[in-house]
Structure 1
């Protein structure tokens, strides 16, 4: 037999001394890759989101939009690679967010924003403060968080101030760990040297707040003013000497308007104390004595890693350093809890998947041992790890890391990467069993040549089915890219290992021992079984057509499971994590203390949930953010009315329920806590894939603000009336009342008081002022020196109105209350814009019967149709599934959130599937030289749906994006089996036989390798069947392969018989003949 490309490779390697060296080299580079490739929790996805924060003092929200937001949006939209521009305008400020295209370099994105704003700063009103640019990326997500809290037995020794001081020192030491990136300290209060004015004393002495500020600021200032030359040298001259002691500040003298000198201690209290921030953090631990959580003040350190660093290594080094600090720096009374360790979870996930990889390998080896022989199994045991290690090396070269997605790609590949080896090994064993006088080496070369070309085409068809998935757009693209990239690399390596190394290994291991194959003329039990099943089908055209009809009906019937909702659809299922976040939004204007009380009440409901290990409460500040929080901008949640609960669950191995099941329980229990009107509580789970602002998100567009708001109110009520739509909220909230203190210019002029002095006094009352720093020596951080009224005095009352304001002559002072007029005004609601369109948003989550947005969307759309819009004085909004409306003159509802990613993903995957089918068709046409035979080969592809749908129904699993990946991959796998079968049908050795005998002989011979390759792929899928994210793909592969493999070996013969008849005899078939041609004769 003339050797083809595959046979030529085998001929060159089967006796070559270089082959073992190549094998060793492959194992070496693979092991190096396994040890050096970074391990991470999530794929490295660069989706730069840059926030531009602008303060616009005195401007109402509508004015801010016109003067600040719109010019900034126009500037940013002109920047290359900006995909979306979002903005939120409010009274006195705005936040504009630029979301760049996936894959844009984060540093480059931030630089572009800076440069564009600086180049167009003249378009921003001069009274508006310089925009602050804040850029965050995936590498800024903390991989380790450490929460410091006092031990129970310490009593009140440790408070949030002393914990903060300790946390600052600990962080300095942890920064010495190589590859630590962005860090933050959350909670606690830093010390400051604070001067607290006494309003009554100031009024009594006639001393103004500004005079107090001026004297204090001068006392803490020091600066170099030049140098003085001496005889041959020079010295630096410093003006001023920073006062750092409380007593020194208290003895400062202030001149009153009547000329008296007053000590600062007479009109103010000076002390070193914690900064009075509008944020607090607590940790809640289970009490051994009481059946409730015990709360302690806490400070949390969050540490991210540098780009491309190994999360596992960095996290381990941080914790090693921490153990050292516990012995040298951290007192015994302070407990440090590791409340996040993505290095550990990434390593655990990687090790778990590597274990599954090994389990699948062993299972396949056992399969080969029982079905072919133990020597062939030994070859398989070497071939699979070699291919996997080479794939890891390719992943390293392509810039991928080891994470749950890339490792999943390897597990997904293991079932198909062994296909080439199985086909080659089985065929070599069969040829050796012929004992026709050829040497074993020649028989092996002939065996490889016999199935070489079909195997090449079959390998390329699998790659053709997978590669188009690399071009899925949006956030899902980077998540999916490792799957086709790594799986395609695995297929290529598997082919070369199968034809280059496997025959050499088989020769070395088998030696001169008896072969395990079957002879050409000896029918196996599988062959006899196949013949008994297939014979009735190919006995007549009528039987063939009946069988094909039944298969077609079964395929269509399986799709009705979608229509009846027996099988639901969802982009990605929920993962089983060890953390859940509770997000609290109180009405604007709520005090920090009230937010804190509400957080404690919410946390108390979780005590009875035994899987909850501990809770961290963050009031007025955000908990350490994750990738979901990065996209949702949780790190900007810094206001007294905002709070977070970070719920830490027991390890997965120590609990029976998944984190999603626990989240459902928590959501029900949280609702027993009474909340004020306008408040909302959301249970936020870590999404398994690309995060979105909300699962169910309705964007309301319309001609004016009133129409949008009223329409949004109706949609929000419809959300609340739907039982499985929960955590309902909106983007506009409730406006916060405003106390407007305006200067009475007439009185101020008459009294000779400068308007700026009045405004400065008001600012000092409510905001205070930092006037300098006070050194502490011994290498410690200096203290900021501030002038700040106690929080209890930061209100407008007769007491604060009595504060003196100096007249410009300085001879006397006037009470502040006589110079200002006070009135209450309603504040403005937040104005949201997306890509230049005004929009109000209504958002919610889904829980219970349905958890995919499509079902909530369909329910809301039915309710929108049934709602009496005319009675409400509104026009019914048009429903849009994708893309903002071009006409804003009429109200419209655009579905966004998870639906937008679902739509884009399944759209792109549908296109990828179409491209894959065309590519496969072209490859098969090139192999067989006919246009009709490839259609027969592609026929079994839809048959996978029978098993896929039944499998999802049996498991009660939703059809997800990973299920779709499995369906697409099955197209390549099934076509591969079809090619091997059809190629045997077309061989010239079957001439002069009736068609049914040709088909039965081909099926009997190829049934074993087809079944083995299918079982190998099914084994690879079975090991990930329990994985919450990849279960859909496992079901698709497991059940899709079962149904399609069983039907492929029957459907293809049935098609031949249906078209030609069972007794048709082909003429001599050459590679260029069309085997579906009706030329021939009847036997």
Structure 2
């Protein structure tokens, strides 16, 4: 018993299975997390080693180099790069793509062991932090702000923010909270240098005395007479700042106890200010919230909102709290756009099918979409897929394929009913006639997508969600098409011929009569088009060689046109943006704060466009689009309203903000060195459009080449935000050691360094446990402000020699003033300078800019021995992705060819069928060019899906030709008969798919920069491919058939058979 006949005989079983799968899909869908993007690992790790107070040069020499020497021996590392900046060493490691999760974890453990082996690091270097990078690790799903609108003060705001952070971290699904803008408390001991010298006490000795007196020591245990053991502990912790002030520093020669309050003042304060935070101009603190992997973004953000709502009622007057930077709104809005466009598209599809195959048949075709979607959702947990932007794109792509397969089956059943066959036999015969072509069509589409899972790197891992979604939906659709659809047709499908239905309707009145008449006219229109097509096909067959050559010419033209189509791997679709600001390098945090607040005020005319503007002074975005910290940086976090205009063109807000700030900068140029508006990217981190590494051990030579590159880039239209990653650092007062004089006094360099740090930033001697807040508060010992405000004050600091006398720093050191670099960059342990630039895709592309730069500087390695150029960033990612996609596409073509060869039992016919892929490519290129869209990863995957749709039409057409040839029909007549029979199905497949996706392509129910180009690619490609399929496939078939017959005749290989397919094709 065939599968189709089983379906029509077991209708009850089929319907129950259908209902169970649909309900199970609904239940599972409510448990599948919703994300903006798939939570993937970036296949990388980052190692951060803080060294407070150190210059970039010191960090490079004494920390980064030593760690790199150990890291280079760790197995499994593909490449690494490092940044040595003021007070921080950061090493980024990318693993080999072939490593499994287990091997990657082993490599991570080996890396930890390598870090532990690093010897001779400076004593005051903080412990290294090693962590893996993933989407959930680096991105916030929302931010909580606490704003001081009533001058409650920094301490109150900080305590409220810390409490709210702790509560947020306890919420289900929250990974962690990151409090920004809050300073730690400190107890500051301001030493009076003159009083200390009067008592012959150095700063270092004050710090040591405090540390000695602020410690708890275990004293062991002792047994009493009652044989009970008692723990002994010596308590030396300070109970209060007042007790600290009474600490005895030393005994004077006359027996007087010198206490701390005699030579210093003790104040409870905050640590040195390194940042300011504001929300819409008011002092504020931010709490970034990240979620656990696998948690639903909407549910997590809602829990955070509920918490903020509850806590807002408990806040004191003058403090406001709210949630900003809500990523779940982005998801909801995009899902809404998808839903509305799909609803409109499905309505159009129902209308088209109603007019062509009847209302009930149209519903039978449409029901395959929700069934396939819900059944595929059952597989999502197994495949590790969440509901995110990529899986939604997969649903959009596959929806056209699902309708196409159902139409082929329904239309063929309908033709058998029109021929007067009994309903049951018509269903079995009609479905079985196209069963193998439909199976082959689905298998070829799956075969096209499976190799896409082989694309390597973060981009491949990111995009793998799309083919997984498509494959799951196609597998479900095959079950629906061959098992569920025949049973449904038997019970609910149209079982009367159109002529009979119209005759019956003539005796009645009302809506049904009107619908039958409209349907009859639609059928008459299709019949007229079919007759015109057959006449046209007959003429084309007479001139088929010329027609095929014209098709080749159009393909060549499209190939040339493709060079004028923009390339943007991951187009941005956003409702938020960053503005990174940089003030002069020598600006204090207070000076930068004043300048940046002035910039924020310039945005007030745009307030109606914004949801919020959050300002953070002391942090910016580097050229690598990563957070950097310093007193001359600032950043705006801007959330703008999801108006229809902003969604259609998010770049509008980027331009509006940029023009507004640049206008303010033109009027107030003082203090603004750099101003960059940065929209977030919708995809994995692939780097800047231009990112060229100039690798050389001599930084000065590398900087010269980098400067020439920046000049060249500035002359290219559409290239902007040109910079390198080695900005000049702040002024440095460099105090070296005179070896001879230092040896006379027995002074080492580390002692000089400690004395300098103590005089300037201070020495953290120990920690005080606040009994009220249970907070650990550092005790910092430093000179009074007025005694350390010049270079002379610093070198006048004294330290104790081994001979117990004091010596000034200027007596053992050398002094110079210079500037270093703010950050030093290494690539695979080699020094390098990186030139970065952004590209306006309307005027240039990453590829064009990099290729021009590569040609201009091709001779640099020849003229500079030891220097190399490496082109990275988006350009490298694009090339790697296209190479991987090219290999995957070849594998897909081989797989499709193999399936078709098995279907047709022929070596040549699969090539005829597959030629339509070329036609689809022509349509996509024309569509992208005319619509003005960029060629993105989503469009490339749309081309793969499009290949499955158009191959289906061509496959079924050739299958019908073969069946006619087996009956003895001549080649030309077989082609004409097959074209006549399949015209309706090809037309309906094209019209319904275009109708379903046209609202999204045109943005009729909401525009999306991701969904729009994707849908437009399928619409344009399908229209061109379907038109050419109806003419070019028959022409190519007859041409190859004629060529084969001529070869057989000329070689005398026997009686030439007109057909070239083995009889008995499934």
Do Structure 1 and Structure 2 share a fold, with TM-score over 0.5?
yes
SS state at 2:94 partner: strand
| 1:932 matched residue in structure 2 | 908
Deviation at 1:760, TM superposition (A): 3.2
**Deviations 1:445-466 (Å, cap 9, x if unpaired)?**
1111111111111111111222
Alignment partner of 1:501 out of 469, 484, 497: 484
Measured in 2, the distance between the counterparts of 1:804 and 1:495 equals 85
Measured in 1, the distance between the counterparts of 2:1061 and 2:404 equals 33
Measured in 2, the distance between the counterparts of 1:977 and 1:743 equals 83
The change in CA–CA distance for 1:580 and 1:1078 in structure 2 (over 3 A counts) is: closer
Q: Answer yes or no: is 1:271 the counterpart of 2:267.
A: yes
| 1:552 matched residue in structure 2 | 552
Alignment partner of 1:569 out of 567, 570, 577: 567
Alignment partner of 2:605 out of 604, 608, 612: 608
Q: Which segment is superposed worse, 954-963 or 800-809?
A: 800-809
The change in CA–CA distance for 1:795 and 1:1044 in structure 2 (over 3 A counts) is: same
TM-score by length of 2: 0.88
**Deviations 1:361-403 (Å, cap 9, x if unpaired)?**
3433333222201111232343221111011112222111110
Alignment partner of 2:469 out of 477, 486, 490: 486
**Deviations 1:584-632 (Å, cap 9, x if unpaired)?**
3455554223333343344344333352443222222368xxxxx9x95
The change in CA–CA distance for 1:864 and 1:80 in structure 2 (over 3 A counts) is: closer
Q: Answer yes or no: is 1:1033 the counterpart of 2:1011.
A: no
Q: How does 1:680-691 map to 2 (within 5 A)?
A: 680-691=674-685
Deviation at 1:263, TM superposition (A): 4.0
Measured in 1, the distance between the counterparts of 2:797 and 2:75 equals 54
| 2:220 matched residue in structure 1 | 226
Measured in 2, the distance between the counterparts of 1:821 and 1:553 equals 77
The change in CA–CA distance for 1:24 and 1:644 in structure 2 (over 3 A counts) is: same
| 1:314 matched residue in structure 2 | 300
User: Is contact 2:568–2:841 with CA below 8 Å preserved after alignment?
Assistant: no
Alignment partner of 2:881 out of 905, 920, 930: 905
Measured in 1, the distance between the counterparts of 2:237 and 2:1062 equals 105
User: Is contact 1:433–1:518 with CA below 8 Å preserved after alignment?
Assistant: no
User: Is contact 2:143–2:287 with CA below 8 Å preserved after alignment?
Assistant: yes
Measured in 2, the distance between the counterparts of 1:928 and 1:256 equals 104
Deviation at 1:516, TM superposition (A): 8.8
| 1:533 matched residue in structure 2 | 533
Measured in 1, the distance between the counterparts of 2:175 and 2:766 equals 29
| 2:23 matched residue in structure 1 | 28
User: Is contact 1:394–1:486 with CA below 8 Å preserved after alignment?
Assistant: no
User: Is contact 1:802–1:817 with CA below 8 Å preserved after alignment?
Assistant: yes
Deviation at 1:147, TM superposition (A): 4.4
Q: How does 1:52-67 map to 2 (within 5 A)?
A: 52-54=47-49
**Deviations 1:907-927 (Å, cap 9, x if unpaired)?**
222222222222222211111
Q: Answer yes or no: is 1:597 the counterpart of 2:580.
A: no
SS state at 1:827 partner: strand
The change in CA–CA distance for 1:446 and 1:755 in structure 2 (over 3 A counts) is: closer
Measured in 1, the distance between the counterparts of 2:1036 and 2:594 equals 73
Deviation at 1:22, TM superposition (A): 0.9
Measured in 2, the distance between the counterparts of 1:455 and 1:32 equals 30
SS state at 1:930 partner: coil
Q: Which segment is superposed worse, 44-53 or 383-392?
A: 44-53
Deviation at 1:1055, TM superposition (A): 3.0
Measured in 2, the distance between the counterparts of 1:534 and 1:552 equals 23
Deviation at 1:725, TM superposition (A): 1.3
Deviation at 1:524, TM superposition (A): 5.5
| 1:1047 matched residue in structure 2 | 1028
Deviation at 1:86, TM superposition (A): 0.8
The change in CA–CA distance for 1:861 and 1:802 in structure 2 (over 3 A counts) is: closer
Alignment partner of 1:477 out of 439, 460, 464: 460
SS state at 1:1028 partner: coil
User: Is contact 1:587–1:734 with CA below 8 Å preserved after alignment?
Assistant: no
**Deviations 1:937-991 (Å, cap 9, x if unpaired)?**
2222212233223222221222222222222222222111011111111214884
Measured in 1, the distance between the counterparts of 2:286 and 2:308 equals 14
Q: Answer yes or no: is 1:734 the counterpart of 2:728.
A: yes
SS state at 1:645 partner: strand
| 1:920 matched residue in structure 2 | 896
Q: Answer yes or no: is 1:49 the counterpart of 2:28.
A: no
Measured in 1, the distance between the counterparts of 2:346 and 2:536 equals 37
User: Is contact 1:202–1:804 with CA below 8 Å preserved after alignment?
Assistant: no
| 1:667 matched residue in structure 2 | 658
User: Is contact 1:46–1:103 with CA below 8 Å preserved after alignment?
Assistant: no
Q: Which segment is superposed worse, 71-80 or 997-1006?
A: 71-80
Q: Which segment is superposed worse, 665-674 or 958-967?
A: 665-674
Q: Answer yes or no: is 1:207 the counterpart of 2:201.
A: yes
User: Is contact 1:91–1:828 with CA below 8 Å preserved after alignment?
Assistant: no
Alignment partner of 2:426 out of 443, 456, 459: 443
Deviation at 1:181, TM superposition (A): 1.0
Measured in 2, the distance between the counterparts of 1:56 and 1:31 equals 54
The change in CA–CA distance for 1:403 and 1:763 in structure 2 (over 3 A counts) is: same
Measured in 1, the distance between the counterparts of 2:697 and 2:243 equals 64
Q: Which segment is superposed worse, 389-398 or 717-726?
A: 717-726
Q: Answer yes or no: is 1:430 the counterpart of 2:415.
A: yes
Measured in 1, the distance between the counterparts of 2:115 and 2:159 equals 42
User: Is contact 1:191–1:272 with CA below 8 Å preserved after alignment?
Assistant: yes
| 1:870 matched residue in structure 2 | none
Deviation at 1:250, TM superposition (A): 2.8
The change in CA–CA distance for 1:366 and 1:996 in structure 2 (over 3 A counts) is: same
The change in CA–CA distance for 1:502 and 1:541 in structure 2 (over 3 A counts) is: closer
In the alignment of these two chains, the number of paired residues is: 1022
Deviation at 1:1027, TM superposition (A): 1.8
Q: Which segment is superposed worse, 829-838 or 1039-1048?
A: 829-838
User: Is contact 2:759–2:788 with CA below 8 Å preserved after alignment?
Assistant: yes
User: Is contact 2:7–2:14 with CA below 8 Å preserved after alignment?
Assistant: no
Measured in 2, the distance between the counterparts of 1:134 and 1:585 equals 29
**Deviations 1:557-591 (Å, cap 9, x if unpaired)?**
2333234x3x333323222x121112234555542
Q: How does 1:348-359 map to 2 (within 5 A)?
A: 348-359=333-344
The change in CA–CA distance for 1:121 and 1:968 in structure 2 (over 3 A counts) is: same
Measured in 2, the distance between the counterparts of 1:162 and 1:64 equals 36
Q: Answer yes or no: is 1:383 the counterpart of 2:368.
A: yes
User: Is contact 1:350–1:402 with CA below 8 Å preserved after alignment?
Assistant: no
The change in CA–CA distance for 1:174 and 1:121 in structure 2 (over 3 A counts) is: closer
SS state at 1:39 partner: coil
Alignment partner of 1:371 out of 352, 356, 361: 356
TM-score by length of 1: 0.86
SS state at 1:207 partner: coil
Q: Answer yes or no: is 1:634 the counterpart of 2:626.
A: yes
Measured in 1, the distance between the counterparts of 2:187 and 2:866 equals 58
| 2:828 matched residue in structure 1 | 835
| 1:326 matched residue in structure 2 | 312
The change in CA–CA distance for 1:199 and 1:1022 in structure 2 (over 3 A counts) is: farther
The change in CA–CA distance for 1:692 and 1:788 in structure 2 (over 3 A counts) is: farther
User: Is contact 1:984–1:1002 with CA below 8 Å preserved after alignment?
Assistant: yes
The change in CA–CA distance for 1:1058 and 1:172 in structure 2 (over 3 A counts) is: closer
Q: Answer yes or no: is 1:281 the counterpart of 2:277.
A: yes
Q: Answer yes or no: is 1:196 the counterpart of 2:160.
A: no
The change in CA–CA distance for 1:702 and 1:268 in structure 2 (over 3 A counts) is: closer
| 1:288 matched residue in structure 2 | none
Q: How does 1:854-1003 map to 2 (within 5 A)?
A: 854-861=847-854, 864=857, 876=860, 889=865, 891-988=867-964, 991=967, 993=969, 995-1003=971-979
User: Is contact 1:680–1:728 with CA below 8 Å preserved after alignment?
Assistant: no
Deviation at 1:431, TM superposition (A): 1.7
Measured in 2, the distance between the counterparts of 1:1074 and 1:706 equals 77
The change in CA–CA distance for 1:262 and 1:105 in structure 2 (over 3 A counts) is: farther
User: Is contact 1:47–1:103 with CA below 8 Å preserved after alignment?
Assistant: no
Deviation at 1:541, TM superposition (A): 5.1
User: Is contact 2:404–2:949 with CA below 8 Å preserved after alignment?
Assistant: no
The change in CA–CA distance for 1:351 and 1:581 in structure 2 (over 3 A counts) is: same
**Deviations 1:636-674 (Å, cap 9, x if unpaired)?**
x22323332222222345857733222133334444526
Deviation at 1:30, TM superposition (A): 0.9
